[in-house]
């Protein structure tokens, strides 16, 4: 087994907090397992997944590379949706983005789209 096992508790805990807080569950390592069932279920599932990945012999550097590629691609549609939401007064009320923020937001989205496109082209060319 590799040193990847060292990171499993940290990653499992952070995943459990992220999922639990997003879902509105009771969260915290100070809670008993029966008080925060979903939170501890995510820790268990993430731990099993991490051990499975470690036992599968997946190269951690390649896994980090591909997770960065996936994050870069997923970021573009997420930024588009965020820009659409912050532009709607019926959703955001007084927190609607002003013209400058919208301009810079759409500029950042465009730059991210170009970067993701370049990354995909570079990855495809590098793989052939």
DSSP letter string, 100-117: HHHHHHHHHHHHHHHHHH
**Domain's final residue, options 58, 75, 97:** 58
Would you state the pLDDT for residue 12? 85
What integer pLDDT is reported at residue 8 of this predicted model? 66
- Residue 54 and residue 2 in contact, taking contact as beta carbons nearer than 8 Å: yes
17 and 27 Cβ atoms separated by less than 8 Å: yes
Together in a domain, 94 and 109: yes
Residues 46 and 74 in one domain: no
In whole angstroms, give the CA distance from residue 74 to residue 19.
18
| pTM exceeds cut of 0.75 | no
Q: Are residues 33 and 72 in the same domain?
A: no
Give average pLDDT by consecutive 10-residue segment, the chain, 128 residues. Answer: 61 89 92 93 90 83 83 93 93 90 96 91 74
Task: Say yes or no: 66 and 36 in one domain.
Answer: no
Burial 25-44, CB ≥16 within 10 A → b, else e = bebeeeeeeeebeebbebbe
Q: Do residues 43 and 83 both lie within one domain? A: no
Please tell me whether residues 67 and 123 are part of one structural domain. yes
Number of domains forming the structure of the chain = 2
List the domain range (segments joined by +) for residue 119.
61-127
In terms of domains, do 94 and 117 share one?
Answer: yes
In this structure, are 86 and 111 located in the same domain? yes
What integer pLDDT is reported at residue 11 of this predicted model? 78
pLDDT at 9: 76
Specify whether 51 is located in the same domain as 105.
no
pLDDT value at residue 125:
81
What phi and psi, each to the nearest 5 degrees, are found at residue 98? -80, 175
Gap between the Cα atoms of 79 and 109, Å rounded: 6
Are 50 and 33 in a shared domain?
A: yes
Specify the DSSP class assigned to residue 57.
Answer: T
77 in the same domain as 50: no
Compute the distance between CA of residue 128 and CA of residue 120 in angstroms, rounded to an integer: 13
Rounded distance between C-alpha atoms, residue 20 and residue 122, angstroms = 37
Looking at the structure, tell me whether residues 51 and 13 fall in a common domain.
yes
């Amino acid at each position: 087994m590799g040193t990847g096992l060292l990171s499993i508790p940290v990653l499992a805990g952070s995943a459990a907090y992220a999922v639990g807080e997003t879902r509105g569950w009771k969260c915290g390592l100070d809670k008993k397992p029966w008080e925060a069932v979903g939170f501890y279920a995510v820790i268990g599932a993430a731990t099993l997944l991490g051990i499975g990945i470690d036992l599968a012999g997946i190269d951690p550097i390649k896994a980090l590379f591909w997770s960065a590629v996936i994050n870069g691609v997923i970021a573009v549609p997420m930024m588009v949706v965020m820009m659409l939401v912050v532009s709607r007064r019926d959703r955001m009320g007084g927190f609607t983005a002003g013209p400058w923020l919208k301009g810079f937001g759409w500029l950042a989205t465009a730059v991210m789209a170009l970067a993701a496109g370049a990354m995909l082209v570079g990855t495809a060319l590098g793989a052939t």
